[in-house]
């Protein structure tokens, strides 16, 4: 899975522009399943197992990542932008970005020595930032980019100690796990969904789940790990290196208790609870589809989420794969679950 994850993290796929990620995934899974692409761009694959479960199982991972969209160009050729998904201003300043058309730039802000003392103590707002692509005039800039062009952070994939450092681990880690499940022998049939537009409102998962109409769903994700020196003990959420995190509740979902208990206490896979009721993921759309879907989220703990330098443990990613497989077997074997 490590090479797959590295390949996935090297691809550019902000919300609404997941084409390159989807084409890579198709190339990896096409000999191991049947698949289709829906009108929104979700990749939906049917994996045959040794047995057919009584109730339909879906496993989801989203392909998109956070990014930037160009909204205007000023007279000096600097690009104004908005964010695609949630990116904090603190992680944007002086970061290199790559637009999907191949143009490179850097996020700039007013220098500290030109800022009054009270403002200098605060991070600038997104409206005060710009992308410098080396253009001298608005006309020059518009020869290089068009309004509506999108981009992402420019960052390498690095292994550092036992951890991985890269952009877009959210949720290319989930995609890598799901690819590996499809390419491996499966005990039970399941439907794999590589969904679009999670970062801008769970849109792809909402559409795909309605189409698939599952009874059970596993949402593979990356989630914030705040196991850092400045975090209070009760706010650390989960820990890198202690296994995948399993949610009991977040701001969009109260998770299925029997699936949660199985994961933590009966699966045989080392995992941990996500201990803060915050945020959300595709589960928020999945579990409300049609008559309801019994849903569990399995997340890879990740420090510095939505930055160019996400940090996660490859052992946790392997643990997420093992837990997803155990859950598929439990859902398939126990029709009275």
Catalytic residues: 198
- Report the first-to-last Cα separation within the chain, whole angstroms: 31
- Please give the Cα distance from 67 to 250 (Å, whole number): 24
CB neighbour class for 46 (10 Å; exposed up to 12, middle 13-18, buried from 19)? middle
Q: How many CB atoms lie within 10 A of CB 314?
A: 18
Tally: H helices and E strands in the chain: 9, 17
* Enclosing H/E stretch for 4: helix 2-9
- Alpha carbon 128 to chain centroid distance? 27
Q: Residue 316 contacts by C-beta under 8 Å, 6 or more apart in sequence?
A: 240, 241, 242, 243, 244, 300, 301
Q: How many CB atoms lie within 10 A of CB 57?
A: 24
CA distances from 171 to 144, 159, 189 (A): 30, 18, 23
DSSP structure string for 126-180:
GGG-EEE-S-SSHHHHHHH--TT-EEEE----EEETTEEEES-HHHHHHHHHHHH
């Amino acid at each position: 899975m490590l090479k797959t994850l590295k390949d996935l993290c090297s691809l550019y796929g902000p919300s609404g522009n997941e084409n390159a990620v989807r084409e890579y995934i198709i190339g990896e899974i096409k000999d191991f399943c049947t698949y289709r692409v829906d009108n929104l761009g979700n990749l939906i694959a049917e994996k045959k197992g040794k047995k057919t479960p009584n109730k339909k199982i879906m496993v989801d991972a989203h392909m998109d990542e956070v990014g930037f969209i160009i909204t205007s160009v000023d007279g000096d050729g600097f690009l104004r932008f908005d964010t695609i998904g949630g990116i904090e201003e603190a992680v944007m300043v002086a970061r290199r970005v790559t637009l999907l058309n191949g143009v490179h730039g850097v996020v700039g802000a007013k220098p500290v020595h030109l800022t009054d003392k009270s403002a200098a103590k605060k991070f600038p707002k997104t409206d005060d930032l710009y992308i410098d692509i080396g253009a001298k005039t608005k006309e020059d800039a518009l020869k290089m980019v068009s309004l509506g062009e999108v981009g992402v952070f420019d960052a390498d994939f690095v292994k550092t100690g036992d951890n991985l450092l890269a952009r877009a681990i959210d949720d290319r880690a989930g995609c890598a796990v799901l690819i590996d499940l499809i390419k491996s022998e499966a005990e039970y049939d399941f439907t794999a969904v590589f969904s679009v537009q999670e970062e801008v409102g769970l849109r792809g998962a909402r559409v795909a789940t309605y189409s698939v109409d599952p009874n059970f769903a596993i949402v593979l994700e990356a989630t914030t790990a705040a196991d850092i020196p400045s975090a209070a003990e009760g706010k650390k959420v989960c820990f890198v290196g202690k296994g995948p995190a399993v949610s009991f509740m977040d701001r969009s979902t109260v998770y299925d208790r029997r699936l949660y208990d199985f994961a933590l206490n009966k699966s045989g896979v080392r995992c941990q609870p996500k201990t803060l009721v915050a945020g959300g993921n595709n589960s928020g759309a999945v579990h409300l589809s049609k008559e309801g879907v019994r849903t569990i989220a399995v997340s890879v703990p990740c420090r510095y989420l939505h930055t160019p330098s996400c940090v996660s443990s490859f052992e946790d990613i392997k643990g997420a794969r093992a837990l997803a497989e155990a859950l598929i077997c439990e859902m398939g074997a126990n029709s009275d679950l």
